[in-house]
Homo-oligomer: A and B are copies of this chain.
Amino acid sequence: VDPRIERLYRLAAGRAGAAVLLGGGLPSAALFPRARLQAAFLRALAQPAGALQYGWPEGHERLRAWIAARVAARGARVTADDVIVTNGAQQAIDLAVSTLGAAGALGDGGWRIGVDAETYPAALDLFRTRGALPVVGAAVRCRYVMPHVSNPRGLALDDAARAQLLASGAALIEDDAYAELNFSGPPGRPLAADAPDRVFHVGTFSKVLCPGLRVGWLIAPRDAREEALRRKRDLDLQASSLAQSILVEFLDADDFDARLARARAYYRRRAVRLARALRRRLPAWRFRMPDGGFSIWCETGEPGDDIALLEAAVAEGVTADPGRLFRADDASAPVALRLCFSSAPVAALDDGVARVARAWDTWRRARDRERVVERSML
């Protein structure tokens, strides 16, 4: 992340209630099941030592069984033994890419990973740190994809694109972080069901339940499982026993499908509200209505510096995510923004977009003034 962007995020977050946060991709705190998590915590603590003691690196057996059953219900041949519990999806992606890298599956001299034209920023950063170059549209031996709900676009792969992806023969890191939040209902077959020998399936409770538990998972191809588990142990021994024990107790007592159905309806309503505000206040911007997830990807079609745009937005009391974060080549132009409808109070969405529109005007005027100056200096 560019330190200028980080600084602006922190500036806006420090203003607490005074800013409308349309950046960041946070789930809505209104959906966090506090009372049920509290009850689950009390039950977890009442068990013998487990919740507070060390556990095995692969994670809590009952939690792995729950995860495996859900993925298996979607058509994949997965058992609890195939699941490694991780610190969120991010660590699962790291395990996948480093296991692939160690196996030579990312190519010889210089690793490359295929990504969408816009994709999850922290995955791009991670790939670079691990020495893998994210590339768009090239022939690669490994691809990172979010087939059911992409980030930032919130779109699902259509059947043709999915078939093409599977036919490529590449190793696939399938990030299902938002998959359960496709507005049209539960996700279908994971890629891991169709190519179990080369799909690393990644999931998390962060978007559908709450991020604070920091629990995700990796389902690696059988051949890679031992190496992935060895790496998990080396990285940090294990995921939090406490968070896992809370989850096991929580899931035991919860109607998780009903919870997901409520979350889909909740986020869809917000997506509609944000889209309406965008059409009204920024009619020149282009976007596709998302199939699910937390955000709308807005393309302005204009040149310029998206960090300066974020700066103008923060000055107006609103945040948004600059498009460059989502691009493998870090390009600012054509300027785009990810706007999240997920966590701001729903009544604030319209006001938030009004602030973005004001920032957009300010930024455009400043940009055009600079151009005049530049031209006059030639």
Contacts and interface: CB of A to CB of B under 8 A. Distances in A.
Nearest to A126: B234
Contact-residue size bin, chain A (C-beta under 8 Å from the other chain): 35 or more
Contact of A87 (B56, B233, B240): B240
A212 interface: yes
Contact of A52 (B29, B237, B240): B29
Interface in A293-339: none
Contact of A45 (B10, B37, B50): B37
Contacts of A125: 230, 233-234
Contact of A236 (B53, B88, B129): B88
A90 B34 contact: no
Contact of A91 (B10, B212, B214, B236): B236
B231 A129 contact: yes
Q: Which of A52, A87, A122 neighbours the largest number of chain B CB atoms within 10 Å of its CB?
A: A52
Contacts of A45: 34, 37-38
Interface stretch (A70-78, A241-249, A281-289, A350-358): A241-249
A238 interface: yes
A12 interface: no
A26 interface: yes
Contacts of A130: 234
Interface string A26-52: 110100101001100110010011111
A138 interface: no
A37 B52 contact: yes
A54 interface: yes
B37 A234 contact: no
A235 interface: yes
A24 B56 CA distance: 11
A171 interface: no
A38 B243 CA distance: 14
A142 interface: no
Interface in A220-237: 230-231, 233-237
A94 B235 contact: yes
A178 to B, nearest CB: 15
Contacts of A26: 53-54
Given A37-B52, A243-B243, 17 more contacts: A29-B48, A29-B53, A32-B49, A34-B45, A41-B41, A52-B211, A87-B235, A87-B239, A94-B236, A122-B234, A126-B234, A211-B241, A212-B242, A212-B245, A213-B242, A214-B236, A235-B235
11 contacts: A26-B54, A38-B45, A51-B212, A53-B211, A55-B212, A87-B235, A87-B240, A90-B234, A212-B241, A214-B243, A240-B243
